[in-house]
Every structure is written in C-alpha cells, then in structure tokens.
Amino acid sequence: MPEASSPIGGTAAPAPRVFSGIQPTADSFHLGNYLGALRQWVSLQDSHEAFYCVVDLHAITVEHDPAVLRRRTKVAIAQLFAMGVDPERATVFAQSHVPEHAELAWVLGCLTGFGEAGRMTQFKDKSSKQGSAGTSVGLFTYPILQAADILLYTPEPGPDEQALRVPVGEDQRQHLELTRTLAGRFNHRFGTTFVEPEAYIPAGAAKITDLQEPTAKMSKSASSPQGIVDVLEEPGPMRKKIMRAVTDTGTEVVYDEEKKAGVTNLLRIYSALEGTAIGDLETRYAGAGYGQFKKDLAQLVLDTFTPIRERTLELLGDEAELDRLLARGAERASRVAVRTMETVRDRVGFVGRGH
C-alpha cells in the first residue's frame, strides 16, 4: 500500500487510510455515482491506503432476487476496475466475503440505543416508502452495519496513527456521526481501540441531479429512467437522454441554481467531465444556445463512458479472473479485519479460541 512522503532522512509516515462502499442494487452505476464518488476512488488510491467494498450485505435489507444480487455484485466490481481502480493499489472486495463486518455490527449494535438508531433520517425515508410490513430489522440497523464497515479498517491508535477518512455526501453525514459516536463510546467503555473516522469530500466530487427533475438528486430509487444516465448504457439511449434533458426558459447557457437549475446541472456535468471551469464553459457557449451545448455534452459523456463499458464487458467475459481478483481483495481486507476483531473480542471480554 502507498506511503506518504517524508522529509529527507526521516521515516515515511503511513498514508492515511480511506474506506468507502457502494451497493450493488442496479445493473449499472450511473453518472451521479461516477462524478459524485467513484471517479474520486481512482485518484484517492494514489495518496491513501484504500479499501473499497461492494456492500452486498446492505443490499439484502430490502426484498431481492439472489441470482440478480450475485450478478450485480460482479458487475459492480467489474465497473470499479474498468473505471481505473487498480487491484494492485487498492483493496477491492465484496462485503460478504469478510464475515467480521457482521460480527462487529453485532457488537456495535449492543452499544447503540434504540432511539438513537430510530433517529436516522434515511431509515425514516426508506421505511415510509416500504410500509411497516415491508420494513426489516436489517433496514433499521443498516447504519450500525455501516459503522462496522468503516471501523473494521481502523488504523492502529497511537501517537503516529493514520487518519481514517470516509468520503461522504450530505445524505451520509448523519451515519458517519453515528460511527464516530460509537467509536468514542467503545473506546471510553473498553479502552482505546478505534480511530474516529473523518468526513472527507475529495476534490472534484460533483453533486449531480436528475436530468428530468433537476432539483432532485440523481438516484436509482427515486429518478425516472429518463432522468438517469447509466455508465453501461448503450450509446444511442445515452445520447438521447442528454439531448432531452430538461433545461429552462431562454437559451443562455449560464450557471444559475435558482432560475436555471437544468442548465446548471448540465454545466456541472460538463465541467466535471472535461475539467473546464464553469465560467469558461459559459464563455464558450455564449450565444450558441442549448442545442449545440447539449450535442457537445452528449459526445463528451459517450467518450467518457464507452471505454468503461467496453472494459467492463471484457472483465465480465473472464469470470475466473474476476473471481481471482475478488478473492485476493477479500484476503487483503481480511488481514486487517481479523486483527481488528481479535482486539475487539479481547476488549469486550469474549473467551479466546486458544490458538
């Protein structure tokens, strides 16, 4: 794993550790996932000790088809590699391959108040959509498993400890605060064990909204099919979605979140994909109108995602190699997870196995 540089003659300081996870709940990641998080995973592996997890345990908190989940997990892993996550520089694995995630979640659940868990806004939102009959205990304890996911990869506490960073959006800040609370509570009760994680928003992360409802987040669970651009989408439909994206009255390509939410969203996408400042894009398209702007943006999206789609299909075509990379990622993750759980078991007071 990478190490941070140090002064000449000094000892290299350990690189900060980063953990992030994503659910395999769709047949493809979408544009919002890519610009809001996944592209940053690629850059973070250069400066951090990176652990990236496809959280299939979280995916079963709602009704699911086992065969579909199995396929989507592999598709998710393949997409991460196709986007540039390097299995040599980052530890990439399926959550269910490391059983310590579930074990630590139980321990942390025993430190979590019922009311504390019930105040999680995502649980309120998701349970209200499913109704009481369809809401599982797993959905209720979802944030505790999420805390376990993060804390399982805690660095060794001490004077030279690594930072533990978690890339988050606004919708996950409450869950990260619960993680910090549980880490502190465990440390206070049983002795210093966990480094409290830091919220981390990587440079270049972009908030992308629905192409048809530009005031709402682009989301598989909430957006219409026309409001989402999938990474693995065929070129024709992908182009049509960009060309048909909601704009606003007038024809000026200018950034104005209040009056021109649709064009503002498209400008954010263009700026993030091309690396051009929004002000420069406004100048480029001054007087050009929406048509040319959308046409150029559609081509940029295609140029970005076509190679990722082709590489993903190539990886899925060699399932044995994909399984090998998954197994290697799980082995590397397990080395850290097993060590963490040995300490947790000892601190909590469980009887040792006598190895």
Could you say which DSSP state residue 49 is in? E
Q: In this structure, how many other beta carbons lie within 10 angstroms of the beta carbon of residue 171?
A: 12
Give the list of residues 6+ apart from residue 101 with CB closer than 8 angstroms, or none: 57, 95, 145, 148, 149, 152, 337
Give CA–CA dist 256/287, Å, rounded: 16
Question: Which class for 272: exposed (0-12), middle (13-18), buried (19 or more C-beta within 10 A)?
Answer: buried
Is-contact 61 136, C-beta < 8 A? Answer: yes
Residue whose pair of structure tokens reads 């960009």 in the numeric block? 242
The DSSP call for residue 171 is G
Give how far Cα 301 sits from Cα of 151, 213, 245, 272, Å: 36, 19, 13, 11
Retrieve residue 179's tokens.
Answer: 């993680």
**What type of residue sits at position 268?**
R
- The C-alpha atoms of residue 171 and residue 194 are separated, in whole angstroms, by 24
CA distance 82 to 75: 10
Question: Do residues 87 and 81 lie in contact, with contact meaning Cβ atoms separated by under 8 Å?
Answer: yes
Distance from the first to the final alpha carbon of the chain: 29
Active site residues: 126, 217, 220
Q: How far is CA 212 from CA 36, 208, 218, in A?
A: 18, 12, 9
